[in-house]
Structures are given as structure tokens and as C-alpha cells.
Amino acid sequence: MADLREFERGGVAPPLPHYTVDNLLAAEAQALLRQEAATWAEAALAGPSGGVRTVIGIRGAAGLGKSTTLLEAVLPLLRAGLRVTFFVPRLNLGDELAGKAIANLEAVAEAERRDSDPLEIWEPPPPCRPSASCADGRRSTSLARRSAAGPP
């Protein structure tokens, strides 16, 4: 980050890319991305690596499947309960990927667990009305969820 600040002030040359590659055909690029993403996901599942966070930056034309390929790689991390931060250039792409992640996690959970213990998708409680207390709103939401789930 300091290098970028110095560059903005005109003090140093811009930092070089950490990973460079020649232009590839779409199929070659997707295969390389899948391989790199799988390697990264396996390392993340193995545990911390000295406190260094992995950052992956990908440049490519729209519609090649970059985000979807990375989402496929992080699904095992999400199932393992790890936190994954996914930056996207547009809000609607974030909504699309979140929907795909939830759908894939639900499908995996159903296939792995069948009908027992399905994944629960948490939804935030509705905002409190000014005339009602938040405690009453949370209590009614909790009771509604319990009654919708059926008897214990």
C-alpha cells in the first residue's frame, strides 16, 4: 500500500504484478484459474499460513466465468464454516453470486444429509415499528419461526 501512495505522489514506479501470464484462450485461462483456485482453497482448508492472507486478483473479459469458477472453489470453505470475502465490481453481481452460493450450499447439504438436518438459512428479523419494542419484535419473530418449523 505504501508503494501505491508513493506512486500517487510521483515518488516511485508503480508496483509490478505479482503474477503475470501471456494472453490465453478462454478454455486455457479457465483451466488455469480452476487449478490455481483449487490449490488456494486446499491451502485455506489446511489452516493458517503464518498470518498471511491470500489475495487473488483476476483480470479478464466479462462473461468468462471468473467469479463463478472462484465461487465453486470456495464452496468447500463455506461448508467448513470459514469466512470468505468476495469483492465484485457491481452490486448486482454480488447479489447473483450470493444467490448461487446459497443455492449450491443448499443442494450440497440436501445431497449430503438428505432430509435430516438441512441447512438453515438465517434471515434478519423485520425492522421494529416505532410503537413496538425491539424485544417484542424479536420474540414474535422467534415464535413464528418455531411454529413454522413444527412441533419439536
pLDDT per position as a tens digit, 37-82:
888 888 877 776 666 666 666 777 777 788 888 888 888 887 787 7
Determine the pLDDT at residue 144: 43
Distance separating alpha carbons of residues 67 and 97, to the nearest angstrom? 8
Distance separating alpha carbons of residues 57 and 20, to the nearest angstrom? 11
In 2-151, which ranges are continuous DSSP H helix?
A: 2-8, 26-46, 66-79, 91-113, 134-149
DSSP-derived secondary structure letter, 14: P
Q: What percent of the chain has pLDDT over 70?
A: 49
pTM more than 0.85: no
Place of cell 453481481: 93
Contact 108, 89 (CB under 8 A): no
Q: What is the DSSP annotation of 59-96?
A: ---TTSSHHHHHHHHHHHHHHTT-------SSHHHHHH
pLDDT digits (tens, 9 = 90+) for 88-126: 777 777 788 778 777 766 655 555 555 544 444 445 556
Contact 32, 24 (CB under 8 A): yes
Contact 30, 24 (CB under 8 A): no
Contact 61, 51 (CB under 8 A): no
pLDDT digits (tens, 9 = 90+) for 17-30: 666 667 788 888 88
